[in-house]
């Protein structure tokens, strides 16, 4: 996909298969729409009056209108002009991109980013546009007997003034790279668990290191993991015949001056299939437990974006990966394991396995003396109940880090919501037989899971993102979303600019 800007002044002379303009519900045309309406002698206004309410996300196609060179003029509803926000522009671009893919359109030009939005800069709008258009071109066909028809959309351009174009170009470049990272995360999530194994994730990290010279991949096998004494992680892995992998993917910026700051570490939960272990999950919907590695997928997708942009900050991705299956060697409720930190854990529920692999990864992260560590995990069903499928759950005791992540989520249109992480909840993890239990009961399940992880993060700034409600879609639209790659990249961009 090629993203660009065009500064042609006469809109009606632009040659493209689709030329998109904005329309507001109050009957007002955007300046670009008004220009095309005049060139077509009122064709746009006539069509709007007849059949278009211009509600946010709505779309109407005019084929070969007289006086206009473009094959199609696409009217995009923006809602009320008085409350135009970045989300409305993004919703319109999603509708446009979906139409282009569905209709087999190869080239498109949008005028929407030239509009003023109170809550977003031009770079923000361009970044979101490139990301969303890239997402629309995603097609999963890896396990079909016949490949799906190729997406024809190959060129997407923003119509802007010369001054605007200069401001938009960095956003377009970033958005295209974020889109590629999101689509990698989606692909890894969508692949079946007999394909996307821990070994496969490890090979993906190695392939990324071959593709981008700033990346270096290290994949620790079971013997090396055992040598490190990651007893908690290994206790989950031993229930499966599939070998575990502990993946470290490190971005070292090409600019030597950018290597002085302490690294930022991202940790992603990589359970490539979660049957629950001995605490077996119900059968219905269990196929979706292939998505339990979406934290790992988002970290790998983020690292791809970081490398493509060559961000001037050292970033390290850590992925502990294994399967959680019932077998004669699997964890049993009542087992006690010793983590890499030396703390002991009583396993009361083997389906609370994500925290058991993450805790060792969080301890491992200490060796990098990080500026901050952010872990990403499809950790608890309780977070889905609390926040649904809109916001990811954010947990941290660091107010400044929370503010940075929440702001990044808003800016990237990949929102998170902060939930409590108070010491009073720690009492729910008490055990009569070990330093802690791996669950704290039904009340505040997502909070106690975060409390558990916090016990392994005392030596650095840390935040936890629970993406159980946002990492994939259910039903007819079943598939990975690639979240929170946009949030993570936006946070990293902010850290590089600080």
How far, in Å, CA of 105 to CA of 137, rounded?
11
Whether 295 contacts 485, CB under 8 Å: no
Catalytic residue among 281, 410, 418, 461: 281
Q: Which of 202, 232, 243, 242 is nearest to 355 (CA)?
A: 232
* Orientation angle between helical segments 294-309 and 198-211, nearest 10 degrees: 0
How far, in Å, CA of 463 to CA of 461, rounded?
7
Q: Which of 147, 138, 142 is nearest to 98 (CA)?
A: 138
Q: Does 41 qualify as catalytic in the annotation?
A: no
The owner of tokens 């990098």 is 368
The owner of tokens 């940790």 is 267
**Structure-block tokens of residue 417:** 């919501």
Whether 365 contacts 248, CB under 8 Å: no
Eight-class DSSP state of 397: S
Q: Does 238 qualify as catalytic in the annotation?
A: no
How far, in Å, CA of 74 to CA of 434, rounded?
64
The owner of tokens 């200490």 is 366
Whether 3 contacts 156, CB under 8 Å: yes
333, HSE (Cβ side, Cα atoms, 13 Å): 9
Q: Which residues contact 280 (CB under 8 A, 6 or more apart)?
A: 326, 351
Reply yes or no: is the peptide bond before residue 484 cis, omega within 30 of 0. yes
Catalytic residue among 290, 355, 455, 483: 355
Ramachandran angles phi, psi of 121, nearest 5°: -80, 170
**DSSP three-state, residue 71:** coil
Task: Count the residues in the chain.
Answer: 498
Reply yes or no: is the peptide bond before residue 24 cis, omega within 30 of 0. no
How far, in Å, CA of 260 to CA of 314, rounded?
8
How far, in Å, CA of 240 to CA of 401, rounded?
37
Q: Which of 60, 41, 40, 65 is nearest to 50 (CA)?
A: 60
Which residues are catalytically annotated? 281, 355
């Amino acid at each position: 996909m090629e993203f660009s800007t065009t500064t042609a002044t006469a809109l009606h002379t632009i040659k493209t298969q689709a030329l998109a303009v904005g329309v507001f519900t109050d009957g007002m045309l955007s300046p670009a729409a008004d220009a095309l309406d005049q060139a077509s002698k009122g064709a746009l206004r006539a069509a709007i009056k007849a059949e278009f309410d211009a509600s946010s996300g709505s779309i109407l196609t005019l084929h070969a209108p007289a006086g206009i060179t473009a094959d199609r003029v696409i009217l995009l509803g923006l809602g009320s002009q008085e409350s135009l926000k970045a989300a409305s522009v993004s919703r319109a671009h999603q509708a446009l991109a979906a139409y282009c893919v569905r209709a087999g359109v190869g080239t498109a030009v949008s005028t929407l980013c030239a509009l003023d939005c109170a809550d977003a800069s031009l770079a923000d709008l361009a970044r979101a546009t490139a990301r969303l258009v890239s997402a629309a071109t995603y097609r999963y066909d890896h396990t079909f007997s016949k490949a799906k028809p190729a997406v024809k959309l190959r060129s997407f351009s923003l119509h802007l003034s010369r001054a605007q174009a200069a401001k938009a170009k960095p956003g377009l470049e970033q958005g295209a790279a974020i889109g590629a990272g999101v689509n990698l995360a989606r692909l890894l999530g969508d692949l079946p668990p007999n394909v996307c194994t821990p070994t496969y994730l490890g090979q993906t990290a190695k392939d990324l290191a071959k593709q981008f010279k700033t990346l270096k991949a290290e994949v620790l096998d079971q013997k090396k993991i055992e040598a490190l004494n990651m007893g908690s992680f290994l206790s989950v892995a031993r229930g499966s015949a599939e070998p575990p992998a502990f993946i470290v993917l490190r971005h070292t910026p090409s600019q030597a001056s950018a290597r002085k700051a302490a690294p930022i570490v991202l940790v992603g939960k990589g359970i490539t299939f979660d049957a629950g272990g001995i605490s077996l999950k119900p059968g219905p919907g269990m196929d979706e437990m292939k998505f339990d590695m979406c934290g790992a997928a988002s970290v790998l997708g983020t690292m791809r974006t970081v490398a493509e942009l060559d961000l001037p900050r050292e970033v390290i991705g850590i992925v502990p990966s294994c399967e959680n299956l019932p077998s004669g060697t699997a964890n049993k409720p009542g087992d006690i394991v010793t983590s890499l930190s030396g703390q002991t854990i009583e396993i009361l529920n083997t389906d609370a396995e994500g925290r058991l692999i993450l805790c060792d990864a969080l301890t491992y992260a200490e060796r990098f003396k990080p500026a901050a560590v952010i872990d990403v995990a499809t950790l608890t069903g309780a977070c889905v109940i609390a926040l649904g499928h809109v916001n990811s759950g954010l947990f941290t005791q660091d107010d400044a880090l929370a503010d940075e992540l929440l702001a990044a989520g808003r800016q990237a249109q990949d929102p998170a919501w902060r939930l409590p992480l108070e010491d009073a909840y720690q009492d729910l993890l008490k055990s009569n037989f070990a330093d802690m239990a791996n669950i704290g009961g039904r009340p505040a399940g997502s909070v106690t899971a975060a409390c558990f992880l916090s016990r392994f993060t005392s030596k650095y700034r840390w935040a936890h993102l629970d993406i159980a409600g946002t990492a994939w879609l259910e039903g007819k639209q079943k598939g990975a979303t690639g979240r929170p790659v946009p949030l993570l990249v936006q946070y990293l961009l902010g850290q590089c600019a600080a």
